[in-house]
Amino acid sequence: MRLEGKVALVAGAAGPANMGQKIAERLAQEGCKVVVTGRHEEPMRAIAEQIGGNYILMDITSKADVDAAADFAVKTYGKLDIGVNATGWGLMKPTHETTETDLDKIMGIQFKGPFFFIQAMLRVMGQGGSIIQISSATATIMLENHAAYMGTKAGIDHVIRTVANEYGARGIRANSISPGLTETPMAGDSFSVKELIDAFAKEYPLGRLGTREDIAAAVVWLASDECFMTGQNLQVNGGLTLRRNPILSELGEIAARATAHLSS
């Protein structure tokens, strides 16, 4: 029970079995009171009941919603010690085809919204606390057709560093975690093609892709009083950033073979 007596707000926990829900589940197992947030009520209600926590509807792109969620957590449990933002949008589109609408949406979800979230955490946290942003290995290494996603993740990583520097005097820690390819609803149908998964897995020195449980375990440590770290980006991806993601031509060949197999 490493987090007994602590209260957490987890954003992005509205998808059944997504990373945010797994993080909320693990935090609760460690004794934390958890409020989950997102845009879909039924999945949040289900996970909140499962972990003995609470939930509130929240659109990360709405500052009013984010502020209301932070206030709800404090009103419900008396304080807020941990803020975890696991929201994201896996936009895959060539840079020259990325529209202004695409940019507005991903900036809202992966930069402007997380900025609102950080501001809300700073407003309600007292002396001490842990702010944790779920980032991506692609904020460091390349993956083609992913520029807007990668850029916004890298940008909010740098904001985390500035927050760590500015608010350390209040005992507030701010860190981010970078998974690689992980089996979540955001990954779509990728995990249904074994050859595709193998193409990614061979680039991981530890020999396998990451799991939601890997990320949740890292969150627990960052949230605990044992953590003497701030302003850092944890590459929780089995060493992927020592190597690379598959390049587009390799993935195209795999997709072509899969299509040919299905049509034969």
Q: Which of 123, 87, 86, 77 is nearest to 218 (CA)?
A: 86
| Contact partners, residue 232, CB within 8 Å, separation at least 6 | 164, 175, 176
Angstrom distance (rounded) from CA 78 to CA 75: 6
Are the C-beta atoms of residues 186 and 90 closer than 8 Å to each other?
A: yes
Tokens 């779509």, located at residue: 188
Residues in the chain: 264
Are the C-beta atoms of residues 182 and 209 closer than 8 Å to each other?
A: yes
How far is C-alpha 135 from the chain's CA centre? 6
Catalytic residue among 55, 77, 149, 167: 149
55 is catalytic: no
Q: Which residues are identified as catalytic?
A: 149
